[in-house]
Structure 1
Amino acid sequence: METISLSHRQRATLVAAGLGFVVVLLDVSVVNVALETLRVSFDTDVAGLQWVVNAYTLVFAALLLTSGALGDRMGAKRVFTAGFAVFTLASLACGLAPGLALLVVSRVVQGMGAALLVPSSLMLLQQAFPNPAQRSRAVGWWGAAGGIALAAGPVLGGLLIAHVGWRGIFLINLPIGALGLALTLCYAPTAAAKPSRGLDLPGQLAAMLALASLTAALTEASQLGWFHPLVCGGVAISLISATAFYWLERHSKEPMLPLSLFRSTTFSIATAVGVVVNFAYYGLVFVFSLFFQAVQQLSPQQTGLAFLPMTAILMVMNIVAGRLVTRLGARALMVAGLALASFGYLLLLLQVDADRAYLTLVLPMLLAASGIAVVVPTMTNATLSAVDAAHAGIASGVLNSARQIGGMLGVAVCGFFVRDTEPGIFLHGMHVSLALAVVLLSAGGILSYFGLKKPNLADTTAQHG
């Protein structure tokens, strides 16, 4: 086998890109173990906690597509550097926030930085590693760094809260950001900018308004009720904005979201499953974070450790699924993964109780996480295989945006069901959340079974014969 050696500049660029992905995913997972601590510190309710989580995810999801175009227009290095600077300064603001309102605003700015970091980090790797074999390995290490961050987030968060306080979960980003910025400025390649690349600002504004108003309506419904004028108004604004977004994208010369992509049944199903999977996963993490701390009275450190088996299995099964997808095909793995996840959530629904021992929940949590981990790389592979190579970047961006939107909706909807932390009422809402996840995952499996094409046996034999 040919040995692939990397230059010092390539290694430094890879570390910088990996650190950018690490801080983004770290702040997705690390905050969950601080929920109960934040609730007590700021004397807030579940709706306030939802805003701490969703303010970040909302902006991250809404800006992902445009930030990719911005990287083309201004150059990946410049956008990546700006993203790291914004994210690091926002992390400082989060760590110093004297009240909940400023913390939420700082999380919004963090989401902006995250959206600038992710697409441009991949662009940097594409520029730094022109050799396809080198680039494939680099992207693999980049993904592994993100997986480690996602798995380590709850444990690291628990340790920081126990020994430093909740502010530590944000301030830990400062040394990472400083190192990432230094490596980027010194070693990352500088590619020519493309100032003619369009940004589709009207479409971006319509998308953000649709997502923000829907998130606000779902979050505030837990306090105000579904028929409150502000909640109804938020839903109405979301529908109007979504309609405007569809019209703009259909008539734009350079749309942020080319609607022609959805002519592919595989792409449409993969995108829908992306929403469902993240809805179930992030909804589960939000609910169980509160369950472990508010109901079972575990410490943040114990809560972080409680999530470790589930997040660790995500990394392992991601690697397994990546190797199986070319052998078994997307249809078989998507259906199997969704069925396994649905079964895991069903077992949790049947077993979870205020006095239930943690060890009895480990196997169902592992099954749920394993199923989701099988689906994620499979639907990514299916998405990229279903579109023309020229649209691979935008297709990947759409899928990632759909997943973030699913996670945001999962926190908002499940947060509504568990809005009362009184154990009896909370557990009822928890059961409703788990039942909804079972239904959605099962529907995704049925959709995948009937909508995705079965792989041609001759093609599979030719690939592996």
Structure 2
Amino acid sequence: MNDEREYQKRVLIATSLSYVIVILDTSIVNVALEPVAASLGSDISGLQWVVNAYTLTFASLLLSGGALGDRIGAKTVYLAGLLVFACASALCGLAPDWQILVVARVLQGVGAALLVPCSLTLINHAFPVARQRASAIGVWAGCGGIAMAAGPLAGGLLIHLLGWRSIFLVNVPIALIGAWLTTRVDSVRPASSDRPMDVAGQLLAIVALGASVAVLIEGAKLGWQAGAIRVGAAIALAAWAAFVLVEARRKQPMLPLGFFRSPVFSASAFVSLISGLIFYGLFFLLSLYFQSARGWSPLRTGLAFLPLTVMVTIGSFVSGALNRTYGAHRLVCAGFLLYALGFAGLVALADDAPYWRIALCFPAVGFAAGVISPAATAALMSAVDKARAGVGAGVLNASRQTGSAFGVAIFGALMSAIQPLDVGIRVAVYLAIGLALLAALVWSVALAVVTRYAGSDVC
């Protein structure tokens, strides 16, 4: 028993460390937007690409990352992801212009897509009991919450002391330590070593997501009626349609559409997407607002986010206990209602309100983000066969990262296209409220169906 617990502890430490650097690089870059723009000559759309090149690649490749882990072994793919992430972070720190920085961020996304789903696979195998697994996932997500909380402040301090390049270079030693720790974790037997890779599905997913986000980012700059935007929209729609058709016809698809017959699985993926969209979208908007509209330094911006990010950490760590006490049904619904409440208070941004009025809304938004992610993760993983855990984890994280990429694109477009600024902010906040309430409704209906007709321990 003690040996099993020691092994579980090693797995949890190694996997949590990887999640820390993945989330750190999602949040830390937001406080560097103004310094990057000033140093590399980027406009708002360029900054959107700096943020989204990472999240978009991450989302596009997560399904293949999970499937690759199932095919050749989660530990092997996990280690490869860490090493790719370390090399890409070094390139980010040395980038001479914003275009090279975008390319390096793409490579970071490749590394993250390899390691994150495989980290959940390692956890899934190390913790076979559902309650233990839910607690472990809560710790894993909680470490991500710590990274989220530390990201803006750590980024502000690093930029203040060493410049914006240091926020990327700091990932290199952390990733290498994570790789060393992973060598002490036992290998997980591949679940499907003879399963062919779905190359067509992967390429279509990349085109569909990339074209969709490109249309949203560039539409505000080029005009929504521009020929290039119309062509991009047509390509995105065609790629999405072809992706669904290919996945429906393949015997072993990258994204098994049969997963979505489960209301728990479908609802978990949907609420993860919406949570990522509204949280990271507004995080990007607020970062630009504090630095551009109010003229705050990266350090002051990082400090301003503390009431938000600290509550993400707290919410992540208590989510497991709240899930066991109240069930995922009530917990996720309550989380999205908290989202809506917090966002309603952020309407004050449009009136150039004092900071304390804005900060009062941050705890509700942060706590909601913290509790939703691990609750939805545990619910989705309970609906997936262990043999397909990598693919299931890939779907979950792809949903979240896709939401993040769309959020940055949508809210950045609103900030660019709708003037004056206070009107754009109001539209963004009202959109976030509407999406939060929609997610609560979808989750409630889906879990009610499961409880009524089949019964489920996630409710």
Q: How does the TM-score come out when normalised to structure 2?
A: 0.91
What is the letter of the counterpart of residue 434 of structure 1? V
Return closer, same or farther for 1:210/1:133 CA change in 2, 3 Å cut-off. Answer: closer
Query: How far off its partner does 1:325 sit?
Result: 2.6
- The answer as to 2:378 corresponding to 1:381 is yes
Return closer, same or farther for 1:337/1:138 CA change in 2, 3 Å cut-off. Answer: closer
- The answer as to 2:185 corresponding to 1:188 is yes
Return closer, same or farther for 1:189/1:412 CA change in 2, 3 Å cut-off. Answer: same
- Name the structure, 1 or 2, with higher relative contact order (CA <8 Å, separation 6+): 2
What is the letter of the counterpart of residue 446 of structure 1? L
Map residues 242-261 of structure 1 onto 2, 5 A cutoff.
Answer: 242-261=240-259
Map residues 316-465 of structure 1 onto 2, 5 A cutoff.
Answer: 316-349=314-347, 351-353=348-350, 355-387=352-384, 390-419=387-416, 425-453=420-448
Partner deviation per Cα, 1:271-306 (whole Å, 9 max, x = no partner)? 222221111100110000011111111110111111
- For 1:294, the equivalent position in structure 2 comes to 292
Task: Quote the Cα distance in structure 1 between the aligned partners of 2:322 and 2:13.
Answer: 28
RMSD of aligned alpha carbons: 2.8
Task: Quote the Cα distance in structure 2 between the aligned partners of 1:129 and 1:373.
Answer: 22
Return closer, same or farther for 1:444/1:221 CA change in 2, 3 Å cut-off. Answer: same
- The answer as to 2:196 corresponding to 1:198 is yes
Query: How far off its partner does 1:258 sit?
Result: 1.2
Query: How far off its partner does 1:107 sit?
Result: 0.3
- For 2:164, the equivalent position in structure 1 comes to 166
- For 1:67, the equivalent position in structure 2 comes to 65
CA contact (8 A) 2:138 2:320 kept: no
Partner deviation per Cα, 1:198-230 (whole Å, 9 max, x = no partner)? 221111111111001111111111210111111
CA contact (8 A) 1:161 1:300 kept: yes
Return closer, same or farther for 1:174/1:218 CA change in 2, 3 Å cut-off. Answer: same
Partner deviation per Cα, 1:38-72 (whole Å, 9 max, x = no partner)? 12222221100000000000110111111111112
What is the letter of the counterpart of residue 110 of structure 2? M
**Stretches of structure 1 lacking an aligned partner (at least 5 in a row):** none
CA contact (8 A) 1:387 1:395 kept: yes
Map residues 66-105 of structure 1 onto 2, 5 A cutoff.
Answer: 66-105=64-103
Query: How far off its partner does 1:240 sit?
Result: 0.7
Task: Quote the Cα distance in structure 2 between the aligned partners of 1:168 and 1:4.
Answer: 39
Query: How far off its partner does 1:334 sit?
Result: 2.6
Query: How far off its partner does 1:386 sit?
Result: 4.2
CA contact (8 A) 1:76 1:123 kept: yes
Q: Which moved more, 1:436-445 or 1:287-296?
A: 436-445
Query: How far off its partner does 1:164 sit?
Result: 0.4
Return closer, same or farther for 1:214/1:131 CA change in 2, 3 Å cut-off. Answer: closer
CA contact (8 A) 1:69 1:198 kept: no
- For 2:276, the equivalent position in structure 1 comes to 278
What is the letter of the counterpart of residue 173 of structure 1? N
Task: Quote the Cα distance in structure 1 between the aligned partners of 2:161 and 2:255.
Answer: 45
Q: Which moved more, 1:118-127 or 1:60-69?
A: 118-127
Query: How far off its partner does 1:78 sit?
Result: 2.1
CA contact (8 A) 1:38 1:166 kept: yes
Task: Quote the Cα distance in structure 1 between the aligned partners of 2:387 and 2:372.
Answer: 24
CA contact (8 A) 1:128 1:188 kept: no
Task: Quote the Cα distance in structure 1 between the aligned partners of 2:135 and 2:375.
Answer: 18
SS of the residue aligned with 2:448?
A: coil
Alignment identity in percent? 43
CA contact (8 A) 2:58 2:110 kept: yes
Query: How far off its partner does 1:122 sit?
Result: 3.1
Task: Quote the Cα distance in structure 1 between the aligned partners of 2:102 and 2:271.
Answer: 29
CA contact (8 A) 1:124 1:189 kept: no
Q: How many pairs were matched up? A: 455
CA contact (8 A) 2:70 2:390 kept: no
Query: How far off its partner does 1:448 sit?
Result: 3.0
Q: How does the TM-score come out when normalised to structure 1?
A: 0.90
SS of the residue aligned with 1:57?
A: helix
Partner deviation per Cα, 1:293-333 (whole Å, 9 max, x = no partner)? 11111110111111111111112123333223344333322
Q: Which moved more, 1:45-54 or 1:119-128?
A: 119-128
CA contact (8 A) 1:45 1:419 kept: no
Return closer, same or farther for 1:426/1:43 CA change in 2, 3 Å cut-off. Answer: farther
Return closer, same or farther for 1:149/1:16 CA change in 2, 3 Å cut-off. Answer: same
Partner deviation per Cα, 1:115-140 (whole Å, 9 max, x = no partner)? 11112223344566779898776555
CA contact (8 A) 2:335 2:368 kept: yes
Map residues 223-262 of structure 1 onto 2, 5 A cutoff.
Answer: 223-262=221-260
SS of the residue aligned with 1:324?
A: helix
Task: Quote the Cα distance in structure 1 between the aligned partners of 2:442 and 2:324.
Answer: 21
Query: How far off its partner does 1:32 sit?
Result: 0.5
What is the letter of the counterpart of residue 95 of structure 1? G
Query: How far off its partner does 1:450 sit?
Result: 3.5
Task: Quote the Cα distance in structure 1 between the aligned partners of 2:262 and 2:112.
Answer: 29
CA contact (8 A) 1:249 1:259 kept: yes
Query: How far off its partner does 1:389 sit?
Result: 5.4
**Stretches of structure 2 lacking an aligned partner (at least 5 in a row):** none
Task: Quote the Cα distance in structure 2 between the aligned partners of 1:455 and 1:212.
Answer: 34
- For 2:14, the equivalent position in structure 1 comes to 16
Task: Quote the Cα distance in structure 2 between the aligned partners of 1:146 and 1:178.
Answer: 18
- For 2:263, the equivalent position in structure 1 comes to 265
Partner deviation per Cα, 1:404-440 (whole Å, 9 max, x = no partner)? 111110000100111279xx73332222111111111
CA contact (8 A) 1:206 1:244 kept: yes
